A and B are shown apart, each in its own frame.
Chain A
Amino acid sequence: MATVFIPLPLRKYTAGQQQVVVEGKTLRELVDNLEANFIGIKEKIVRDGRLRPGLSAVVDGRPTRRGLLQPIGEDSEIHFLPSIAGG
Chain B
Amino acid sequence: MVATENVAREYKVIGTRPIRPDGLEKVTGSAVYGADIKMPGLVWGAVLRSPHAHARINRLDVSGVSAKPGVLAVMTAEDLPEAEDKVVDLGEGDIDFHYASQRIMASGKVIFRGQPLVAVAATDANTAKEALKLVEVEYEVLKPVINVHEAMATDAPLVLEDLTGDHLGEEVSNTNVAKHFLHEFGDVDAGFASASTIVEHEYDLSTVHQGYIEPHNATAIWNMNNHITIWTSTQGSFAARRQTAGLLDVPESKVKVVPLEIGGGFGGKIPVYLEPIAAVLSKKCGRPVKLLMDRGSVFESTGPTPGAWLRVKMGVDKSGRITAGEADIRFEAGAFPGSPVGAAAKCVFACYDIPNTKVDGYDVIVNKTKTAAYRAPGATQAAFAVETIVDEICDKMGMDRLEFRLLNASHEGTRRSDGPRFPRIGNIEVVEAAKASPHWNAPLEREGPDGRKRGRGFASGYWFNVGLKSSVSMSLNDDGTVALVEGSTDIGGTRASIAMQAAEVLGVSAEDVLPTVVDTDSVGFTDVTGGSRVCFATGAAACAAAQNLIKEMIKRAAMIWEIAEGDVKFEDGNFFAKSDPELKLSFKQLAGRIEDTGGPVTATASVNMEDDRGGFGAHIVDLEIDPDTGKTDVVRYTVVQDAGKAIHPAYVEGQMQGGAVQGVGWALNEEYFMDDSGAMKNSSFLDYRLPTSLDLPPIETIIVEVANPDHPFGVRGVGETPIVPPVGAIANAIYDALGIRLCRTPMNPGRILEALSSGNGK
How far, in Å, is A64 (CB) from chain B's closest CB? 8
Binds A, one of B54-62, B436-444, B605-613: B605-613
A1 close to chain B: CB less than 8 A:
no
Asked if B89 contacts A53 (CB within 8 A), the reply is: yes
Quote the shortest CB–CB distance from A65 to chain B (angstroms): 5
Q: Within the complex, what minimum Cβ distance (angstroms) separates B525 from chain A? A: 13
Chain B CB within 10 Å — which of A10, A12, A54, A82 has the most?
Answer: A82
Count class of interface residues, chain B: 35 or more
Instruction: Report whether B377 and A62 are in contact in the complex, using a CB–CB cutoff of 8 Å.
Output: no
List of B residues within 8 angstroms of A58 by Cβ: 419-420
B608 touches A65 (CB 8 A): yes
Question: Cβ of B421 and Cβ of A84 under 8 Å apart?
Answer: no
The contact string, 1 if C-beta is below 8 Å from chain A, for chain B 367-383, is: 00000011111100000
Q: How large is the interface on A (under 10, 10 to 19, 20 to 34, 35 or more residues)?
A: 20 to 34
Give chain B nearest CB distance to A33 CB in angstroms.
20
Please tell me which one of the listed residues A5, A54, A60, A85 contacts residue B87 in the complex, with CB atoms under 8 A apart.
A54
Verify B94–A53 contact, CB threshold 8 A: yes
Minimal beta-carbon separation of A7 from chain B (angstroms): 8
Enumerate chain A residues within 8 angstroms of B726, measured Cβ to Cβ.
none
Question: A85 with B343: in contact, given A8-B182, A9-B168, A79-B418 (CB under 8 Å)?
Answer: yes
52-87 of chain A: CB within 8 A of chain B: 53-54, 58, 60-66, 77, 79, 81-87
**Once bound together, how far apart are the Cα atoms of A82 and B267, in whole Å?**
19
The distance from the CB of A8 to the nearest CB of chain B, in whole angstroms, is 5
- Assess the B418–A81 pair: CB atoms within 8 A: yes
The tally of CB-CB contacts under 8 A between chains A and B is 99
For residue B22, CB closer than 8 A to chain A, the reply is no
A10: chain B residues within 8 A (beta carbon): 169
A residues less than 8 Å from B719 (CB atoms): 87
Among B168, B373, B421, B530, the residue within 8 A (CB) of A8 is B168
Q: Does B448 count as interface, using CB distance less than 8 angstroms? A: no
Where chain B touches its partner, the secondary structure class is loop
Contact B343 A84 (CB under 8 A): yes
User: Contact between B179 and A63 (Cβ–Cβ < 8 Å)?
Assistant: no
Interchain CA distance A80-B94 in the complex, whole Å: 16
Known: A79-B419, A81-B418, A87-B376. A63 touches B346 (CB 8 A): no
Among A25-73, those with CB < 8 Å from B are 53-54, 58, 60-66
The residue in chain A whose Cβ has the minimal distance to the Cβ of B720 is A87
Q: Which 9 residue pairs are nearest across A and B when measured between Cβ atoms?
A: A9-B169, A87-B267, A85-B93, A86-B531, A53-B87, A84-B342, A87-B373, A79-B419, A61-B420
Of the A-B pairs whose beta carbons lie under 8 Å apart in the complex, a sample of 21, sorted by A's number, is A8-B182, A9-B181, A60-B420, A63-B466, A63-B610, A65-B467, A65-B468, A77-B421, A79-B418, A79-B420, A84-B93, A84-B343, A85-B338, A85-B343, A86-B93, A86-B267, A86-B373, A86-B376, A86-B530, A86-B532, A87-B719
